[in-house]
Amino acid sequence: MASCLHAPMAYRIPSSASSQSVRRPKALTLSCRAFGAKNAAKIPMPPVNPKDPFLSKLASVAASSPETLLNRPVNPDTPPYLDLFESPKLMATPAQVERSVSYNEHRPRRPPPDLPSLLLHGRIVYIGMPLVPAVTELIVAELMYLQWMDPKQPIYLYINSTGTTRDDGETVGMETEGFAMYDALMNLQNEIHTVAVGAAIGQACLLLSAGTKGKRFMMPHAKAMIQQPRIPSSGLMPASDVLIRAKEVIINRDILVELLAKHTGNSVEMVANVMKRPFYMDATRAKEFGVIDKILWRGQEKVMAEVAAPEEWDKNAGIKVMDGF
């Protein structure tokens, strides 16, 4: 760049002071040529491309008006000397820029979203694990986010969970995990459409029944089951602590019975009676018990609507029903 600044630099004297002798400071008597010659042996200069548009522009500015380069304002937001161009110029063709910013034409430019994010975009929340603290944290956060996005659109909650226990009955989470999700559902302004796929056991069955009335569904071969809460493994706990835990489990059982009675429309005594032992329900039985409202079987509603009653069958067949039979 220094070789492009070898043009003589004229020092302009104002007309009003032409008759007077003007003495320039010694610091300004050094020209760019002298500076370049002094440091040429110390700083090797790379070869300059004469066709470089930036260097050509810089050299012409240095020759015509050197004060533009000497008295430049300091602006940290602007790279030095780039504002000499009136309009920025692209140093490469659009095709070259496109190839430089992407790996190839088949690879996506950003990582794809994960599956829960895609479901969340469709306002779908899926519970596919036992109700452990990590699952509770995720589900409650998704419910709050969907309400914040749109408090009027429904939320679809798909459930395939064994609740706070595993398949073999081992306790994996506290009953408060299910109650936390239940309270979150009850505080939402949105409609909650619950769908049981696979299994809805214990606290998961409570979440299934807690959906908006008329919007609680179940797949044809899904299972629902209600049971009493289990005491977590006591290990080497003293007897007094075991008694405290047992009392807490009884309290959770009573709360679960009251909530199930509220959402299923049954009495507290009936729910408490069937919960003495694990009470399994298929889709039809869950609908009769009041856990769900409809069975999601493609075309089933139309088929069942077209089925005639037994009396209608007998009448059409010419069978006369006698009194008392």
Q: What's the structural domain count of the chain?
A: 1
pLDDT of 33 > 60? The answer is no
Question: In which band, very low, low, confident or very high, does the pLDDT at 120 lie, cut at 50, 70 and 90?
Answer: confident
| In-domain check, residue 156 | yes
Question: In which band, very low, low, confident or very high, does the pLDDT at 115 lie, cut at 50, 70 and 90?
Answer: confident
- Round to whole Å and give the CA distance between 78 and 115: 43
Q: Please state the pTM of the whole predicted model.
A: 0.59
Give the pLDDT confidence score for residue 18 in this predicted structure: 46
Give the pLDDT confidence score for residue 139 in this predicted structure: 94
The candidate with the shortest Cα–Cα distance to 207, out of 177, 229, 231, is 177
pLDDT of 45 > 60? The answer is no
- Round to whole Å and give the CA distance between 133 and 120: 20
Question: In which band, very low, low, confident or very high, does the pLDDT at 74 lie, cut at 50, 70 and 90?
Answer: low
What tens digit of pLDDT does each residue of 232-288 get? 766 777 888 888 888 998 999 999 999 999 999 999 999 999 999 999 999 999 999
26 vs 320 pLDDT, higher one: 320
Here the CATH number for the domain that contains residue 202 is: 3.90.226.10
Length of the chain in residues, anyone? 325
| In-domain check, residue 174 | yes
Give the pLDDT confidence score for residue 323 in this predicted structure: 55
The pLDDT > 90 percentage for the chain reads: 42
DSSP 193-249: EEEEEEEEETHHHHHHHTSPTT-EEE-TT-EEEE----PPP-TT--HHHHHHHHHHH
| In-domain check, residue 53 | no
| In-domain check, residue 43 | no
- Round to whole Å and give the CA distance between 114 and 202: 29
| In-domain check, residue 109 | no
What are the tokens at 239?
A: 């007897």
- Round to whole Å and give the CA distance between 217 and 287: 9
Q: For residue 160, what are the domain limits?
A: 115-299
The pLDDT > 70 percentage for the chain reads: 62
CB 82 within 8 A of CB 57: no
62 vs 209 pLDDT, higher one: 209
| In-domain check, residue 227 | yes
pLDDT of 98 > 50? The answer is no
CB 204 within 8 A of CB 175: no
| In-domain check, residue 185 | yes
Give the pLDDT confidence score for residue 243 in this predicted structure: 86
| In-domain check, residue 108 | no
pLDDT of 6 > 50? The answer is no
The per-residue pLDDT of the chain, averaged, comes to: 76
Give the pLDDT confidence score for residue 245 in this predicted structure: 86
CB crowding 142-180: b at 16 or more within 10 Å, else e: bbeebbeeeeeeebbbbbbbbbbbeeeeebbbbbbbbbb
